[in-house]
Chains A and B, each alone.
Chain A
């Protein structure tokens, strides 16, 4: 079964601190992409960062970076210098590159950045 697990339903972090959101997934495929999406209170889905499974180098996007451990099927998101605007629901997702192209989402982590 293809599943994505986010084991932290809620987290909080002080402004300017660093926080790591965890994600594990299960797939028998070798080629896929992994994503983190942010969903603020407006409920829009905003792409935060993307990782190709065939790349060993961890993706970074400004204050956002990932720790991708393919063997462990782990894909955590690190947010550095947290800002109040980072307060949102964060969803981890993956998509295969062959056959189906639907996203499989995790259940989300609600992150609150405290002033």
Chain B
């Protein structure tokens, strides 16, 4: 069964550094998402992406965040200058179209630790 994959599984970085979190969505999917889960809290929407542009972003997704699909398979989340409060689990998700029941398929997550 096709799966969403994410790399790395755990990223440790120093405050102020840039990080890139990578996701490979399911190959025929068209809609892509990033969510964030701070430890012990609920999963929160960051951004959705379709047709090579952002469809929607939350207030969390400020200017330090960016997304791109550089090569037709990878979907990346870049955090330009990490802060301590960016420490969280980051989930990528994808789906084929928005009328398949809305189900989004999640990757295993990347745990980001900012020191």
A interface residue numbers (CB < 8 A to B): 32-33, 35, 37, 42-47, 50, 52, 91, 93, 95, 97, 100-108
User: Are B43 and A33 closer than 8 Å at their CB atoms?
Assistant: no
With A42-B108, A45-B106 in contact, is A101–B41 under 8 Å at CB?
no
Looking at A32, A43, A97, the one whose CB has the most chain B CB atoms below 10 A away is A43
User: Are A101 and B102 closer than 8 Å at their CB atoms?
Assistant: yes
A103 to B103: give the CA distance in the assembly, Å.
9
A93 to B111: give the CA distance in the assembly, Å.
22
User: Are A105 and B43 closer than 8 Å at their CB atoms?
Assistant: yes
CB distance from B80 to the nearest CB of A (A): 23
User: Are A101 and B48 closer than 8 Å at their CB atoms?
Assistant: yes
* Interface residue SS majority, chain B: strand
For chain B, the bracket of interface size reads: 20 to 34
Task: Closest B residue to A46 by CB, please name it.
Answer: B106
B interface residue numbers (CB < 8 A to A): 31, 33, 35, 37, 41-45, 48, 55-56, 58, 89, 91, 93, 98-99, 101-106, 108-109, 111
User: Are A43 and B98 closer than 8 Å at their CB atoms?
Assistant: no
Task: Closest B residue to A106 by CB, please name it.
Answer: B42
Task: Closest B residue to A52 by CB, please name it.
Answer: B101
With A91-B43, A107-B42 in contact, is A97–B48 under 8 Å at CB?
no
CB distance from B86 to the nearest CB of A (A): 17
Q: What are 12 A-B residue pairs whose CB atoms fall within 8 Å in the complex?
A: A43-B89, A43-B109, A44-B106, A46-B106, A91-B42, A97-B99, A100-B56, A101-B48, A101-B98, A102-B33, A103-B43, A103-B45
User: Are A105 and B42 closer than 8 Å at their CB atoms?
Assistant: yes
A32 to B44: give the CA distance in the assembly, Å.
18
A100 to B50: give the CA distance in the assembly, Å.
12
CB distance from B58 to the nearest CB of A (A): 8
A91 to B103: give the CA distance in the assembly, Å.
14
CB distance from B90 to the nearest CB of A (A): 11
Q: Inside 8 A of A97's CB, which chain B residues have their CB?
A: 98-99, 102
CB distance from A92 to the nearest CB of B (A): 10
Closest A-B pairs by Cβ, 5 of them: A45-B106, A102-B45, A33-B102, A95-B102, A105-B43
